[in-house]
Structure 1
Amino acid sequence: MADNYTQISREWWVEQWLGLLDSYRFKKRLERARVYAREGNVRSIEFQGQKVFARVQGTEVEPYQVSIWLDAFSDEEWQYAIETMSEKAIYSAKLLAGEMPANIEKVFTANGLSLFPFKLDDVRSKCSCPDKANPCKHIGAVYYLLADRFGEDPFVLFQLRGRTKEQILETLRQMRSRGTEKQKSGGETQIPKLQYPLKVEHFWQYDEPLESSLVVIVPPPSSETVLDVLGTIPLANDATENADAKTTASETVMKYLNTVYQAVSQQAIVSAMKVGE
């Protein structure tokens, strides 16, 4: 068996599972576990409900019995999680295609759950070997083979939380189907009739006073004015008669427009401040 556990390219959910193993501080034990997994010491591995049962060949004649499981979600918790999945088409589409959505964890955290274990201690395990350490190399070997299973079928992780692939997909289909039927039964959207007919000439007219709390006066995000954006007006570049000889007609006009712009801005602020008085 090739050592797939040091490859760079892996599915993100496999990467997350292996990252959980790499957080284990006894690195030598993990190395021995990888050797066991790579050399085929795991004789069998099967799922029974939410638990994983495996037989791992050690130094004894008979293989050791290993069991691994996670805390399962309740029926109510799964109902909430799958309802959240059904609300977004991307989740349903990915899962129905046998893929794990990249942000699937958000579905569970939104319902106060966590699909992935936070730490290795959250993974329950037991081995019949005499080694009191947990995880021992036999349990570790099964951990690594589970990573392979996750890569082949991401629904294995859901199964460890108490729901099989078939159960999740069937519930998703039912919820999506009910949502579609509800939309159809609603019929066409009725456009409400206006109490008064619209008149084009009154479109910009509003006779009611504005609520003063709705008026918020804030400084502009930039000190740059419309005149600054437009730049110098291209007028005749001759000196004016009543100004300094170095002042062009364009500069004189721009200076005047700046004065007008400031006056209008101040008047607008004053008018806004009087709203509701």
Structure 2
Amino acid sequence: MSRYDDDDAHGGDADGGVAGPERTFAALPPARGRAFAQSWWGRAWLTALEATALDSGQLKAGRRLARAGAVGAVSVRPGRLTAVVRDRDGTAHRADVLVQELSGDQWDRFLAMAAGRAGHVAALLDREMPTHLVEDAELAGVDLLPGPGDLEPECGCGVWDHCGHTAALCYQVARLLDEDPFVLLLLRGRDERALLDELGTGHAVRAGQPGAAPEGVDAADAYA
């Protein structure tokens, strides 16, 4: 992938296919003086990144970029994260991080498990991902959280493995995961509305109701 300007940042799937469900989050303010992840699942996400990257210098560069607010709007869709990340000199790079989607069979097992445990659904609606939900999913043969090697980087900057741009994207996404674990479930292949409908609780969440997560911004507006 090559460098490009923000105006070219959004136009469908990077591989030329038809885009699936997608949420786009406006750029977050600089994260100076705070940890990137407060939740245990956000920290687990960063552990997967830091156990994957081979160059600690690139991780440090990523943290500096993320703290400086250099990560633009973040697009989240099944299997892929995308953002424009700017170097200190203003050069823009498209950074992508790929995450394996769950298979249809894995989703069936997860849904069967979650449907039988009302507490799991209630926790998700409260924007929480309790450890016992992840543990029960693992017992059903479903890994929700990524492990070492599961965050695959793609960037046109010429650095092999995770570069500062893909690392910055991952650090920024940890902040999004803190606020809404449905971001992880979308990465794994199901958006919030579809997932709740399949669990039979779609009526419980409607835009504007107390406790509902903020809606993503319009992708074209965010990238502009």
Q: Which residue of 2 aligns with 1:155?
A: 182
Q: Which residue of 1 aligns with 2:41?
A: 13
Residues 1:122 and 2:164 aligned together: no
Measured after TM superposition, the shift of residue 59 of structure 1 is 6.1
Measured after TM superposition, the shift of residue 28 of structure 1 is 2.1
Give the Cα–Cα distance (whole angstroms) in 2 for the partners of residues 54 and 12 of structure 1: 24
Q: Which residue of 1 aligns with 2:31?
A: 2
**Among residues 102, 122, 125, which one is paired with 1:96 in the alignment?**
125
Q: 1:25 to 1:146 in 2, by over 3 A?
A: same
Give the Cα–Cα distance (whole angstroms) in 1 for the partners of residues 78 and 50 of structure 2: 27
Counterpart residue identity of residue 39, structure 2: E
Q: How many residues are aligned here?
A: 172
Give the Cα–Cα distance (whole angstroms) in 1 for the partners of residues 201 and 174 of structure 2: 30
Q: 1:89 to 1:61 in 2, by over 3 A?
A: closer
Q: Which residue of 2 aligns with 1:146?
A: 173
Q: Which residue of 2 aligns with 1:212?
A: none
Tell me the TM-score normalized by structure 2.
Answer: 0.69
- Mapping for residues 160-171 of structure 1, pairs under 5 Å: 160-171=187-198
Asked if 2 retains the 8 angstrom alpha-carbon contact of 1:33 and 1:137, the reply is yes
Q: 1:84 to 1:156 in 2, by over 3 A?
A: same
- Mapping for residues 87-236 of structure 1, pairs under 5 Å: 87-119=116-148, 121-131=149-159, 133-173=160-200
CA RMSD of aligned residues (A): 2.3
Question: Greater CA radius of gyration, 1 or 2?
Answer: 1
- Gaps of at least 5 residues in structure 2 are 1-29, 203-224
Counterpart residue identity of residue 139, structure 1: T
Q: Which residue of 2 aligns with 1:83?
A: 112
Counterpart residue identity of residue 76, structure 2: F
More helix as a share of residues: 1
Asked if 1 retains the 8 angstrom alpha-carbon contact of 2:78 and 2:101, the reply is no
Asked if 2 retains the 8 angstrom alpha-carbon contact of 1:96 and 1:169, the reply is no
Measured after TM superposition, the shift of residue 44 of structure 1 is 2.5
